[in-house]
Amino acid sequence: MRQGRVDIGQRSETVHRANLSAIVRGLHERGPLSRSDLVALTGLTRSAIRALVCELVDAGMVIEEPALRRGTPGRPSPIARANPRRAVVLGIEIMVDSIAAAIVGLGGVTLAESRLERTRGSLSPDRVVADITELTESLLRRVAVAPIGIGVAVAGVVRRSDGLVWMAPNLGWAEVALGERLTEALGLAVPVSIANDADMGLLAEHRRGAAVGVDDVLYVSGEVGVGGGAIIGGRPLMGVAGYGGEIGHMPVNPGGIPCRCGSTGCWETEVGEGALLALAGLPPDAGREGVEAVLREAAAGVPTAAAALDHVGRWLGIGLAGLVNILNPQLVILGAMHGRIHATVRPVMEVELDRRALRAPRESVHVVAASLGVGAPARGAAELAFEPLLADPAAFFGSAALAPQLASA
């Protein structure tokens, strides 16, 4: 009997916490919602929603405001929104030529951000840890806040369980225990989650960009390296250890050139920034400015620039055709350099897609440029850091809130 009562009590507490999670997640991901919206979103009764929202308002996580009348009949329903000052996280990105950090509040509001431009090839693990420590300390001083979690997006292959960067060929890293090193260097006593930069760019686009509401989406993000990620049936494609989605190292050309990963003819060697610059006759370290120069020259009719873009566009189409056949996505998002060249290479890329993808999956997919631009990986990393709170907000009811006067600084 006694055992039975305990079980029922535990079960109802579990349900209660899950309902709080559904509301906080809804407000964080979708923005302000009325009580009617929350009823529709959760399937709970109006009175249950009222009680749960009151609890979240008391905990400081949610702010309720009177609704603006918008010509709808009946009583106006108060609008609830996440309180960005109640819980913040740190989102960090480590790219080949820059380190960025942002403090993001509940609801996805960026409260402060900063970026350090770095020379390619200069970013040793020691340098990156020192840069992140400096950025973090200056941001935390500006906002005067203790984050509840830290998310880090890095341009490399990452083991999610412990934040080991197994390989980051374009940073020149192998087996760097980044999670451990950052936890120790920052000394903030909160979880540090490390993930691949393209996976985090995709998460940001899915939450707040071009893929909101789309459950089958492939993300391709090319710069020096070519990364990717996929969400299939609403869930990120991870693989058994979190290494999944390394589409840049998909072998596409057995007669191709050596790749930095050690293999030959990877997709990255045909569609990456290095391939574009080399084919256009520019130095391999010309970077983003080099890509802009190629686009300008192609628009002015310079044949080598146009041919270089055609080559990349054609190989983009070939690789995407295979991925579309395997994954059947509704949307393909091209990020970073591929987003910037999309408008120019689109015709040649679409020809290859039409020629090589199976008709049914080809007809159901759209290819678009990313909508969030620079900083998408850091925003995605912030979303990763919010996950424990979104999964169980009640576990954070006792944590310190950010002082309002400091939050607006």
Residues that bind Zn ion (CB under 5 A): 249, 259, 261, 263, 266
Shortest reach from residue 314's CB to Zn ion, in Å: 19
The radius of gyration of the chain's CA atoms, rounded to the nearest angstrom, is: 23
The residue among 166 and 215 lying less far from Zn ion, judged by its C-beta, is 166
Residue 324 beta carbon to Zn ion: minimum distance, rounded to whole angstroms: 21
DSSP secondary structure string, 183-235? HHHH---S-EEEEEHHHHHHHHHHHHSTTTT-SSEEEEEESSSEEEEEEETTE
Contact yes or no for 270/279 (Cβ under 8 A)? no
Cβ proximity to Zn ion, 163 vs 272, nearer residue? 272
Nearer to Zn ion among residue 143 and residue 318 (C-beta): 318
CA distance 222 to 228: 8
Which of 261, 401 has the CB closer to Zn ion? 261
Hey, what are 392's tokens? Answer: 């169980």
Residue type, 257: I
Q: How far is the CB of 225 from Zn ion (least distance, A)?
A: 9
Q: How far is the CB of 325 from Zn ion (least distance, A)?
A: 21
User: Rounded to 10 degrees, what is the CA torsion of 167, 173, 175, 179?
Assistant: -100
Query: Contact at 8 Å (CB) between 85 and 401?
Result: yes
Shortest Å, Cβ 170 to Zn ion: 10
Of 263 and 304, which has the nearer Cβ to Zn ion? Answer: 263
For the chain, how many helices (H) and strands (E)?
Answer: 14, 16
Minimum CB separation from Zn ion for residue 256, in Å? 10
Separation of alpha carbons 233 and 329, rounded Å: 9
CA distance 184 to 144: 21
Is 38:26 a contact under the CB 8 Å cutoff?
yes
CB nearer to Zn ion: pick between 244 and 388? 244
Q: Are 154 and 194 in contact (CB under 8 A)?
A: yes
User: Considering only CA atoms, which of 119, 200, 185, 106 is closest in space to residue 147?
Assistant: 106
Which H/E stretch holds residue 81?
strand 79-82
Q: Min. distance of Cβ 263 from Zn ion in angstroms?
A: 5
- What is the smallest separation between the CB atom of 264 and Zn ion, expressed in angstroms? 8
Closer CB to Zn ion, residue 257 or residue 406?
A: 257
For Zn ion, give the closer residue by CB, 263 or 325: 263
